[in-house]
């Protein structure tokens, strides 16, 4: 066990955990931030996507010991009132069915749009290909990302 | 005028008047269980009045509607309350939705499955809203001393023009709760609906996009520990022994022990299918610590039944299809002599593998069992049946068992089988502490309860005019005999024979989104395409001729045929027109068509496939649906789109295989699910507007798309696709 000081959603938080513990479980079990989801544990489904700095990463493969000074943003911290352009676009399109994978989809989409504010369909598909949705909301996700892109650029 | 009795089924639906009169609920109990939006906070009523089991009306007119059924992503938590709200006459923006707890005394069929929530709930939900409206009107009539028939209700306002009286629901709620419950209430005419049939966004949307704890796996309770299970690595193996000493001393680990999930005398329900009766439990402080212990633990297993392989399943199914059944499932005319007379005979065999459900939220359940009572919370499609099993297993009356239903991160049939709930109960009982059982993805994918593997052989005879004169179908599946013998084309062919077989295997199987239909529709619709081609006819025209026969002169007793050929032909014509069908190619795209009936609904689809890329790309799907009245078109389209993407994905990419009883795929690195790039570019859905009572929606769009895809693939590649998945390492399209 070891002590780690983490910057999560703008706040500094202390945890005492095994250094190999993936951030996914630090967030969910220790910091009680359960918006980040467990899907596969091997970085294949994207349900656990968070932002490390400005980059979308799979928190199930990110050991707490590797985080250091970098800031972490989870779905709970993406915006204060759920009004990030991507969140607004998701509401507008009524994207979700079961909703379980959507935090990961939103976190991946928001990091992607920051890098590429005016993506083409193909760029969206490439960027989002690592996020599985078993309910099959892919066409709505794509529409929502395009809408979010126009909200941000308005 | 539609009058409806206010009792439902065998149970008295409503509380008696006097009880309803005493049914005031204080605001704070509501606040604890429901998070209102910021705008709603300022409007929190001081008092709530319990009008009936489905709804509460606050003194400020805010209405809380209980959604009775479990939510698995089919959106009933929004659409069921919409039905209540419409009949009540409240403005939707003043409605707060709450998930009802399991209470079989009050609610009927609290189950998510078979696409039946809306169909079965329809009358009861309407009655609940209409009854409350009736009582509000009665209260106003009494207060104003006017005739109730002259009173109007509009968007939460009760009015009487002649006396110039008007009141909000909140003003009358207290009095309404003391009014006698009517024996009969008048329902709205369908063209008077103002919420039903309009787009309403998912009531949980704001919680989903902000990561609120909605799902079973999100549950955190004081003193709760994490539990995991270790199950046999192969079907046919059972627990023998283990040495858990070192693992027990790992950091955070509280205990490691074998459990008897069921005892010999446990009264099992159908929902306990696929159970593994003996498992190892690991309990610890955190999920990661349990995962580490799970990896380090060595369990010995012993063979109890045969260790089966995919090759063996395939051979056994083939063998079954080469036999004849003594008792055909259905027989019309004489197929043998018809085939002799036929000008052309076509015979084809289709197959599909086992499939895992792969809900994105792995199986999990919270349990807190003491000697006095047992509390549960988690994702379950069949809470009522789980409660019965728990009562038997724990030796506790159902009154002492409380099950809350969390939102589910997908179901697809997997959470009909609540063995994980029983596992959680037994582990909590052993630990004398609250626990949350969590499966890893590997546990989830290799535990079983799969979609069965199937094989079907079709034989069709055409006469010189290209008319279908004989149809012989033989179907087989693992632990499931596959066929719906009275569905189309039964009733449309003079000589028809259906035979079905079930292959017993120890690989456990269960319902998977649109059971049986999820294979047989694609096979049948691909075969019909090939038969139409042999007949030299357009595939849509060929089907319409068959429906015409079933309409004008059905074979066999018409009531035996399990479909309405008029509605079936209706969706096919609608999709033909919408897609501008004039053959099987269009603007360079290869097109396939398909139609199917299941879960009381009719679906027809046209699928366009781009032919200029190496791997197939679905550019567009047109989908015509007849599911009667559509409650929430925006959400209904979402279900249709999801079913289409799900169907394309599973037919194209997914399979579970076995070697020596061992599942060969354990996670999404090798078990392939459809991804963003492979999804259709566009899906357009069209609903038939016929005012018929609503039918199933969550499943019917999945089965036929597999046929439309197979038929388009043929047009794109010149090759027929008989075996799912269409893309494997061995056969790559392109």
Q: What is the pLDDT of residues A3-29, one digit of tens each?
A: 999 999 999 999 999 999 999 999 999
Q: Can you read off the two tokens belonging to residue A3?
A: 């002590």
Cα–Cα distance, B476 to B327 (Å, whole number): 14
Task: Determine contact: B220 vs chain A, CB below 8 A.
Answer: yes
| Better-scored residue on pLDDT, B15 or B154 | B154
Q: Are residues A55 and A23 in the same domain?
A: yes
Cα–Cα distance, B319 to B476 (Å, whole number): 10
pLDDT, mean over chain A: 97
**Residue A58 Rama label (left phi>0; alpha psi -120 to 50; beta):** beta
Work out the percent of chain B whose per-residue pLDDT is above 90: 81
Give the CATH number, domain containing residue B394. Answer: 3.30.365.10
Closest CA to B615 of B672, B543, B659, B657: B672
Residue with tokens 């809470």: B383
Q: Are residues B506 and B471 in the same domain?
A: yes
What is the least distance, in Å, from the CA of B217 to any CA of chain A? 8
What is the least distance, in Å, from the CA of A42 to any CA of chain B? 8
For residue B578, how far is the Cα from the chain centroid?
Answer: 28
Contacts of B411 in chain A (CB under 8 A): 98
User: B301: which DSSP letter?
Assistant: E
For residue B302, how far is the Cα from the chain centroid?
Answer: 36
Neighbours of B150 (CB within 10 A): 14
A42, HSE (Cβ side, Cα atoms, 13 Å): 11
Q: Under DSSP, is residue A94 helix (H, G, I), strand (E, B) or coil?
A: coil
What is the least distance, in Å, from the CA of B495 to any CA of chain A? 40
Among B44-58, B386-400, B542-556, B675-689, the minimum mean pLDDT is found in B44-58
Q: Is residue B29 part of a domain?
A: yes
| Pair B497, B328: CB distance under 8 Å | yes
CB contact under 8 A, B638 and A1: no
pTM of the model: 0.94
pLDDT tens-digit map of B594-620: 999 999 999 999 999 998 767 779 999
| Pair B237, B303: CB distance under 8 Å | yes
What is the least distance, in Å, from the CA of A69 to any CA of chain B? 23
Task: Determine contact: A66 vs chain B, CB below 8 A.
Answer: no
Task: Determine contact: A104 vs chain B, CB below 8 A.
Answer: no
Q: Are residues B195 and B225 in the same domain?
A: no
Q: Are residues A46 and A103 in the same domain?
A: no
Q: Are residues A143 and A101 in the same domain?
A: yes
CB contact under 8 A, A136 and B218: no
Closest CA to B160 of B178, B140, B179: B140
Residue at which a domain ends, from A77, A99, A119: A77
Kindly tell me the burial class for residue B164, based on how many C-beta atoms sit within 10 Å of its own C-beta (0-12, 13-18, 19 or more): exposed
Among B7-21, B95-109, B446-460, B517-531, the minimum mean pLDDT is found in B7-21
Contacts of A78 in chain B (CB under 8 A): 210
Residue at which a domain ends, from A60, A77, A94: A77
Q: Are residues A67 and A118 in the same domain?
A: no
Q: Strands across the sheet with B454-462, in order?
A: B330-332, B495-503, B468-478, B454-462, B344-352
Q: Can you read off the two tokens belonging to residue B198?
A: 């309009």
Q: Is residue B314 part of a domain?
A: no
CB contact under 8 A, B220 and A34: yes
User: B686: which DSSP letter?
Assistant: E
Give the one of B209, B215, B639 whose C-beta lies nearest to A91's C-beta: B209
What does the pLDDT read at residue A151? 76
Phi, psi at B597, each rounded to 5°? -125, 125
Counting one residue from A and one from B, how many pairs have CB atoms under 8 Å apart? 188
What does the pLDDT read at residue B193? 97
CB contact under 8 A, B646 and A99: no
What is the least distance, in Å, from the CA of B209 to any CA of chain A? 6
Contacts of B677 in chain A (CB under 8 A): 125-126, 129
Q: Are residues B188 and B238 in the same domain?
A: no
What is the least distance, in Å, from the CA of B412 to any CA of chain A? 9
What is the least distance, in Å, from the CA of B329 to any CA of chain A? 34
Q: Are residues B426 and B507 in the same domain?
A: no
Residue at which a domain ends, from A77, A107, A133: A77
Across B517-537, average pLDDT: 98
Cα–Cα distance, A70 to B413 (Å, whole number): 42
Q: Are residues B548 and B623 in the same domain?
A: yes
**CB-based contacts of B241: which residues, under 8 Å, 6+ apart?**
B299, B300
**Best mutation target, B99, B212, B227, B288, to test chain A (most A CBs within 10 A):** B288
Neighbours of B335 (CB within 10 A): 25
Q: Are residues B478 and B620 in the same domain?
A: yes
Q: What share of chain A is helix, strand, coil (3-state, %, to 5)?
A: 40, 20, 40
Cα–Cα distance, B442 to B363 (Å, whole number): 11
Enclosing domain of residue B659: 324-355+450-717
**Best mutation target, B78, B198, B200, B211, to test chain A (most A CBs within 10 A):** B211
pLDDT over 90 (residue B4)? no
Give the CATH number, domain containing residue A136. Answer: 1.10.150.120
Q: Are residues A72 and A90 in the same domain?
A: no
What does the pLDDT read at residue B10? 30
Kindly tell me the burial class for residue B416, based on how many C-beta atoms sit within 10 Å of its own C-beta (0-12, 13-18, 19 or more): buried
The total number of structural domains in chain B stands at 3
DSSP codes, B177-234: TTSPPPSEEEEPPGGG-SSTTS----TTHHHHHTT-S-BGGG---TT-EEEEEE--SS
Q: Is residue B317 part of a domain?
A: no
What does the pLDDT read at residue B732? 44
Closest CA to B139 of B107, B77, B106, B182: B182
CB contact under 8 A, B360 and A35: no
Q: Are residues A7 and A65 in the same domain?
A: yes
Q: Are residues A14 and A72 in the same domain?
A: yes
pLDDT tens-digit map of B570-599: 999 999 999 999 887 777 889 999 999 999
CB contact under 8 A, B211 and A139: no
Cα–Cα distance, B622 to A131 (Å, whole number): 26
Q: Are residues A14 and A70 in the same domain?
A: yes
Task: Please list the alpha-helical segments (H only) found in chain A.
Answer: 23-25, 85-93, 102-115, 121-128, 138-153
Give the one of B291, B441, B682 whose C-beta lies nearest to A39's C-beta: B441
Q: Are residues A66 and A107 in the same domain?
A: no
CB contact under 8 A, B208 and A142: no
Give the one of B213, B360, B638 whose C-beta lies nearest to A45's C-beta: B360
Cα–Cα distance, B86 to B713 (Å, whole number): 45
Task: Determine contact: B663 vs chain A, CB below 8 A.
Answer: no
For residue B671, how far is the Cα from the chain centroid?
Answer: 22
Q: Are residues B390 and B502 in the same domain?
A: no
Across B270-293, average pLDDT: 96
pLDDT over 70 (residue B28)? no
pLDDT, mean over chain B: 91
Cα–Cα distance, B374 to B367 (Å, whole number): 7
What does the pLDDT read at residue B183? 84
> CA A93, A99, A103: angle at the middle one, nearest 5?
90
What does the pLDDT read at residue A154? 60
What is the least distance, in Å, from the CA of A48 to any CA of chain B? 11
For residue B363, how far is the Cα from the chain centroid?
Answer: 16
Q: Are residues B431 and B486 in the same domain?
A: no
pLDDT over 50 (residue B38)? no
Q: Is residue B316 part of a domain?
A: no
Residue at which a domain ends, from B161, B185, B209: B209
- Give the chain A residue nearest B668 (alpha carbons): A44
Task: Determine contact: A50 vs chain B, CB below 8 A.
Answer: no
Residue at which a domain ends, from B150, B174, B209: B209
Residues in chain A: 154
Q: Are residues A9 and A64 in the same domain?
A: yes
- Give the chain B residue nearest A89 (alpha carbons): B209
Q: Is residue B732 part of a domain?
A: no
pLDDT over 50 (residue B622)? yes
pLDDT confidence bin for B46, thresholds 50/70/90: low
pLDDT over 90 (residue B104)? no
Phi, psi at B616, each rounded to 5°? -65, 140
Q: Can you read off the two tokens belonging to residue B313?
A: 């399943």
Give the one of A37, A96, A133 whose C-beta lies nearest to B205's C-beta: A96
Give the one of B410, B669, B681 whose C-beta lies nearest to A135's C-beta: B410
Contacts of A121 in chain B (CB under 8 A): 681
**CB-based contacts of A149: which residues, under 8 Å, 6+ apart?**
A113, A117, A118, A119
Q: Is residue B315 part of a domain?
A: no
Q: Are residues A56 and A8 in the same domain?
A: yes
pLDDT confidence bin for B181, thresholds 50/70/90: confident
Q: Are residues B577 and B668 in the same domain?
A: yes
The gap between the terminal CA atoms of chain B, to the nearest Å, is 60
Cα–Cα distance, A99 to B589 (Å, whole number): 33
Cα–Cα distance, B561 to B558 (Å, whole number): 5
Beta bridge partners of B618: B609
Q: Measure Cα distances from B135 to B22, B125, B170, B186, B644 in Å.
A: 15, 16, 13, 12, 44
Q: Under DSSP, is residue B171 helix (H, G, I), strand (E, B) or coil?
A: helix
The gap between the terminal CA atoms of chain A, to the nearest Å, is 48
Give the one of B211, B215, B643 whose C-beta lies nearest to A76's C-beta: B211
Contacts of B646 in chain A (CB under 8 A): 134-136
What does the pLDDT read at residue B19? 25
Q: Is residue B318 part of a domain?
A: no
Give the CATH number, domain containing residue A66. Answer: 3.10.20.30
pLDDT tens-digit map of A23-77: 999 999 999 999 999 999 999 999 999 999 999 999 999 999 999 999 999 999 9
pLDDT over 90 (residue B558)? no
- Give the chain A residue nearest B285 (alpha carbons): A29
The total number of structural domains in chain A stands at 2
Enclosing domain of residue A117: 85-153
Contacts of A27 in chain B (CB under 8 A): none
| Pair B635, B75: CB distance under 8 Å | yes
Give the one of A22, A78, A102 whose C-beta lies nearest to B288's C-beta: A22
> CA B612, B618, B624: angle at the middle one, nearest 5?
140
Q: Can you read off the two tokens belonging to residue B137?
A: 């009107």
Peptide bond into B206 cis (omega under 30): no
């Amino acid at each position: 066990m070891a002590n780690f000081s983490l910057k999560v959603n703008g706040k500094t938080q202390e945890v005492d955990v095994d250094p190999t513990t993936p951030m996914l479980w630090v967030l969910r079990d220790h910091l009680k931030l359960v918006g980040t989801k467990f899907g596969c544990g091997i970085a294949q489904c994207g349900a656990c996507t968070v932002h490390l700095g400005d980059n979308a990463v799979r928190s199930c493969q990110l050991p707490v010991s590797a985080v250091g000074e970098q800031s972490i943003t989870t779905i709970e911290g993406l915006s204060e009132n759920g009004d990030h352009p991507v969140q607004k676009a998701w509401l507008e399109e009524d994207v979700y069915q079961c909703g379980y994978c959507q935090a990961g989809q939103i976190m991946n989409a928001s990091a992607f749009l920051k890098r590429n504010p005016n993506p083409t369909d193909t760029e969206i598909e490439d960027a989002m290909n690592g996020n599985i949705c078993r309910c099959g909301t892919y066409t709505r996700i794509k529409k929502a990302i395009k809408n979010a892109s126009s909200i941000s650029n308005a | 005028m539609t009058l409806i009795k206010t009792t439902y089924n065998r149970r008295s639906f409503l509380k008696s008047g006097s009880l309803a009169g005493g049914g005031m609920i204080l605001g704070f109990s509501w606040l604890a269980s429901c998070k209102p939006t910021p705008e709603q906070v300022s409007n929190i009523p001081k008092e709530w009045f319990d009008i009936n089991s489905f709804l509460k009306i606050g003194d400020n007119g805010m209405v809380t509607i209980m959604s009775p059924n479990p939510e698995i992503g089919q959106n009933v938590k929004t659409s069921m309350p919409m039905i209540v709200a419409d009949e009540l006459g409240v403005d939707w923006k003043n409605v707060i939705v709450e998930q009802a707890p399991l209470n079989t005394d009050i609610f009927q069929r609290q189950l998510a499955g078979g696409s039946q929530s809306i169909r079965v709930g329809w009358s009861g939900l309407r009655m609940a809203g209409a009854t409350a409206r009736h009582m509000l009107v009665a209260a106003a009539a009494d207060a104003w001393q006017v005739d109730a028939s002259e009173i109007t209700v509009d968007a939460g306002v009760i009015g009487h023009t002649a006396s110039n009286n008007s009141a909000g629901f909140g003003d009358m709620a207290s009095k309404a709760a003391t009014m006698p419950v009517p024996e009969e209430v008048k329902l709205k005419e369908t063209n008077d609906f103002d919420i039903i049939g309009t787009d309403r966004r998912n009531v949980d949307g704001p919680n989903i996009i902000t990561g609120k704890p909605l799902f079973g796996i999100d549950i955190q309770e004081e003193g709760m520990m994490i539990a995991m299970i270790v199950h046999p690595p192969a079907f046919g193996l059972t627990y023998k022994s283990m040495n858990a000493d070192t693992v027990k001393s790992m950091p955070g680990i509280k205990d490691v022990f074998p459990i008897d999930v069921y005892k010999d005398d446990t009264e099992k329900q159908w929902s306990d299918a696929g159970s593994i009766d003996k498992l190892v439990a690991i309990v610890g402080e955190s999920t990661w610590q349990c995962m580490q212990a799970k990896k380090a633990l060595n369990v010995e297993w012993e063979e109890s039944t045969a260790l089966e392989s995919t090759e063996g399943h395939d051979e056994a199914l083939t063998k079954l299809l080469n036999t004849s059944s003594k008792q055909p499932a259905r027989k019309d005319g004489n197929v043998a002599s018809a085939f002799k007379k036929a000008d052309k005979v076509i015979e084809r065999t289709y197959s599909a593998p086992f499939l895992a459900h792969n809900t994105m939220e792995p199986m999990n359940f919270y349990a807190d069992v003491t000697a006095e009572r047992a509390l549960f919370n988690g994702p379950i499609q069949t809470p009522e049946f789980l409660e019965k099993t728990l009562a038997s297993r724990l030796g506790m009356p159902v009154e002492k068992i409380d099950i809350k239903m969390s939102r589910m991160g997908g179901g697809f049939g997997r959470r009909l089988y609540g063995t994980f709930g029983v596992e959680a109960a037994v582990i909590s009982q052993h630990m004398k502490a609250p626990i949350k059982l969590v499966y890893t993805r590997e546990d989830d994918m290799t535990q079983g309860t799969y979609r069965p593997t199937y094989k079907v052989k079709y034989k069709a005879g055409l006469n010189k005019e290209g008319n279908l004169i004989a149809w012989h179908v033989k179907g087989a599946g693992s632990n499931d005999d596959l066929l719906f013998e009275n569905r189309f084309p039964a009733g449309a062919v003079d000589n028809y024979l259906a035979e079905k077989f079930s292959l017993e295997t120890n690989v456990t199987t269960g319902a998977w989104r649109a059971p049986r239909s999820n294979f047989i529709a694609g096979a049948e619709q691909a075969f019909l395409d090939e038969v139409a081609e042999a007949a030299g006819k357009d595939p849509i025209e060929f089907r319409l001729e068959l429906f015409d026969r079933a309409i004008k002169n059905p074979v066999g007793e018409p009531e035996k045929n399990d479909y309405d050929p008029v509605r079936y032909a209706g969706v096919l014509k609608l999709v033909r027109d919408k897609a501008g069908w004039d053959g099987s190619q269009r603007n360079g795209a290869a097109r396939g068509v398909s139609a199917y009936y299941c879960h009381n609904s009719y679906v027809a689809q046209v699928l366009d496939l781009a032919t200029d890329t190496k791997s197939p790309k679905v550019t567009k799907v047109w989908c015509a649906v007849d599911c009667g009245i559509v409650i929430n078109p925006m959400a209904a389209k979402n279900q249709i789109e999801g079913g289409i993407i799900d169907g394309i994905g599973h037919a194209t990419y997914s399979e579970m295989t076995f070697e020596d009883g061992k599942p060969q795929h354990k996670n999404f690195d090798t078990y392939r699910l459809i991804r963003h790039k492979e999804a259709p570019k566009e899906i357009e859905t069209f609903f038939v507007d016929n005012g018929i009572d609503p039918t199933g929606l969550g499943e019917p769009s999945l089965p036929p798309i597999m046929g439309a895809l197979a038929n388009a693939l043929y047009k794109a590649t010149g090759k027929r696709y008989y075996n799912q998945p269409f893309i494997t390492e061995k056969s790559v399209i392109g």
